[in-house]
């Protein structure tokens, strides 16, 4: 393999590029979930554009309560304008049936809402927090962004996830190492309907696991079985007798008959492992 001929660009240099991109947009509505990527975009946009940068969070049964709380808290700490919009993807039959393109229908709902808000509020551009590393997995939401003209300034400025964390730390964001998050519907296998009850069951169990001290955790829903993915660094603490009993008790309290542990550990998009021949990887 030949070495890359592209010069190495530091996170600080990419940060300057991002600042220039956002200034050129003049005013931006940021699709803001409270995760590190979109929070970083909001932080930089607010620093460059002030009140001409607005964070918008879509609230629905698929948004973990902890993420909503974080979104509100982080925006307040940044001093950035922030609005909550009620999202209704759970009323879309294509979303509920949970085919592999579920994310397309969810993001279509989000981007339709933000497109209307952009017009109503007089903003120039809608942006999201997609970074280069997001382009390699199967992510139908990327097509929804393209369809609605949503820009991804982190991609345009060539940010990887590691770059985002490094630059966020550089500008003093205390959430620079915040664990990755995803909507609760991503815990349900494709072909199994997404319902409010299942989302609440998953969200409640995950909240209890975080209360027990686990930082990077997922509860994958398999009918009566909860399949827990935990960061490998935290695996040992879960398997101690006292903690294991508390985890099982929490799972049963939220309606699971069996509580299992995935020895592969936490990984993003693990339910995509069942898909073959699907990729939305873009040329970088």
- Token pair belonging to 166: 């490094």
Query: Does the pTM exceed 0.75?
Result: yes
Q: What is the mean pLDDT of the chain?
A: 92
CATH 3.40.50 assigned to domain 184-267? The reply is no
Can you give the residue ranges of every domain in the chain?
11-170, 184-267
- Residue 68, pLDDT score: 96
What does the pLDDT average to over 275-279?
Answer: 49
Q: In the block, which residue shows the tokens 């509505």?
A: 29
Task: Using the predicted structure, report yes or no on whether residue 279 has a pLDDT greater than 50.
Answer: no
> Which tens digit of pLDDT belongs to each residue from 75-106?
999 999 999 999 999 999 999 999 999 999 99
Task: Using the predicted structure, report yes or no on whether residue 272 has a pLDDT greater than 80.
Answer: no
**What is the band of 275 on the pLDDT scale with cuts at 50, 70, 90?**
low
> Which tens digit of pLDDT belongs to each residue from 193-236?
999 999 999 999 999 999 999 999 999 999 999 999 999 999 99
| 25-48 residues labelled b (16+ CB within 10 A) or e (exposed) | bebbbbbbbbbbbbbbbbbbbbeb
> Which tens digit of pLDDT belongs to each residue from 163-181?
999 999 999 999 999 998 8
- Residue 278, pLDDT score: 45
Q: How far apart are CA 278 and CA 100, in angstroms?
A: 9
Give me the percent of the chain exceeding a pLDDT of 70: 92
Q: CATH for 11-170?
A: 3.40.50.620
């Amino acid at each position: 393999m030949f070495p890359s001929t592209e010069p190495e660009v530091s996170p600080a240099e990419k940060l300057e590029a991002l600042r220039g991109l956002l200034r050129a947009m003049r005013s931006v509505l940021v699709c803001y979930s409270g995760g590190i990527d979109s929070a970083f975009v909001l932080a930089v946009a607010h620093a460059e554009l002030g009140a001409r940068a607005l964070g918008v969070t879509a609230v629905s049964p698929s948004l973990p309560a902890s993420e909503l709380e974080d979104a509100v808290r982080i925006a307040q700490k940044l001093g950035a304008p922030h609005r909550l919009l009620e999202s209704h993807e759970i009323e879309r039959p294509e979303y509920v049936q949970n085919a592999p393109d579920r994310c397309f229908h969810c993001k279509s709902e989000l981007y339709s809402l933000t497109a209307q808000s952009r017009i109503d509020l007089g903003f120039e551009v809608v942006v999201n927090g997609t970074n280069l590393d997001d382009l390699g997995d199967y992510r139908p939401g990327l097509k929804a962004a393209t369809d609605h003209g949503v820009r991804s300034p982190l991609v345009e400025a060539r940010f990887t996830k590691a770059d985002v964390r490094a630059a966020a730390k550089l500008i003093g964001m205390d959430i620079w190492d915040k664990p990755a998050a995803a909507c609760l519907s991503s815990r349900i296998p494709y072909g199994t309907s997404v319902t409010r009850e299942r989302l609440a069951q998953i969200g409640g169990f995950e909240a209890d696991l975080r209360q027990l001290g686990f930082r990077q955790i997922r509860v994958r829903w398999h009918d009566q079985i909860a399949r827990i993915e935990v960061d490998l660094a935290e695996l040992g603490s879960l398997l101690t007798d006292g903690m294991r009993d508390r985890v099982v008790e929490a799972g049963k309290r939220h309606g699971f008959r069996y509580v299992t542990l995935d020895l592969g550990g936490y990984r993003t998009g693990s339910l995509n492992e069942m898909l073959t021949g699907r990729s939305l990887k873009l040329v970088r």
